A and B are shown apart, each in its own frame.
Chain A
Amino acid sequence: GAVVSQHPSRVICKSGTSVKIECRSLDFQATTMFWYRQFPKQSLMLMATSNEGSKATYEQGVEKDKFLINHASLTLSTLTVTSAHPEDSSFYICSASHRNPEWDIHNEQFFGPGTRLTVL
């Protein structure tokens, strides 16, 4: 199956600083990438959908100026949490998909391993 990586896996930062999380599709070209956040013992909440070469589409309630998403290439999307605060501490997960008629599932999303962000 397709592999998606995230870097870093864990990050601790001070309040007010910015943190960048990378999401890479390693063996396929991802036309669409998604960013989710997950609070402890809760479900994944979709933050935004990112298509290569265009602006991300943010879900209702997600501040686009706080969570900057860049999808500059078909294999890389980045999420930057700007001016991080303790309430931004969460598990951030990306996924990637590509329309490929040879694949079994239409628009299957492949998930990265997640990034644990802790803001002190």
Chain B
Amino acid sequence: GEDVEQSLFLSVREGDSSVINCTYTDSSSTYLYWYKQEPGAGLQLLTYIFSNMDMKQDQRLTVLLNKKDKHLSLRIADTQTGDSAIYFCAESPGGGATNKLIFGTGTLLAVQP
């Protein structure tokens, strides 16, 4: 099947904003998610957006959803060195009926001091 695509790498300076992009595949996905993975660790849910929303803001995080283009983005304001990690978007295909998550290819965010 098709992959959930993300850019591989993003480098920003501390204090700048980071924007991580994702193109997903299943238009029936009810929820779309952003997860963070630090080296050698499991996944931490950062935020999510319901498919009938265009935008969701949660403190430094802003999620934008373009359903027509199946495009999802995560903006991190005032990026800190502690934000350095791999970020995965994920979709729940089939409207969430199966409870499965399909993960994107992951974006490594490097924050330079």
Tell me which residues across on chain A come within 8 A of B42, comparing CB atoms: 4, 6, 93, 111-114
Chain A min CB distance to B68 (Å): 23
- Check B103 against A32 for contact (C-beta < 8 Å): no
> Which segment, of B12-20, B59-67, B69-77, B94-102, faces chain A?
B94-102
Q: CA of A97 to CA of B100 in the docked complex: distance in angstroms? A: 10
From 33 to 48 in chain B, residues with beta carbon under 8 angstroms from any chain A beta carbon are: 35, 40-45, 48
A97 to B35, CA, bound (A): 16
Task: Flag B81-111 by CB within 8 Å of A: 1 or 0 each.
Answer: 0000000100010001011111111101000
Partner of B102 from A32, A41, A46, A116 at Cβ < 8 Å: A46
A8-24 contacts to B (CB < 8 Å) = none
- Residues A73-120 near B (CB distance < 8 A): 93, 95, 97, 105-114, 116
Interface residues of A (CB under 8 A from B): 4, 6, 32, 34, 41-46, 49, 93, 95, 97, 105-114, 116
User: What is the number of contacts between chain A and chain B, taking CB atoms within 8 Å?
Assistant: 54
Residue of B30, B48, B105 near A42 (CB, 8 A) is B105
Q: Indicate if the CB atoms of B100 and A111 lie closer than 8 Å.
A: no
A-B contacts, 23 of them at CB < 8 A, read: A34-B100, A41-B108, A43-B103, A43-B104, A43-B105, A43-B106, A45-B103, A46-B101, A49-B98, A49-B99, A93-B42, A93-B43, A95-B43, A105-B45, A105-B48, A106-B96, A107-B96, A109-B99, A109-B101, A111-B42, A111-B45, A112-B42, A116-B40
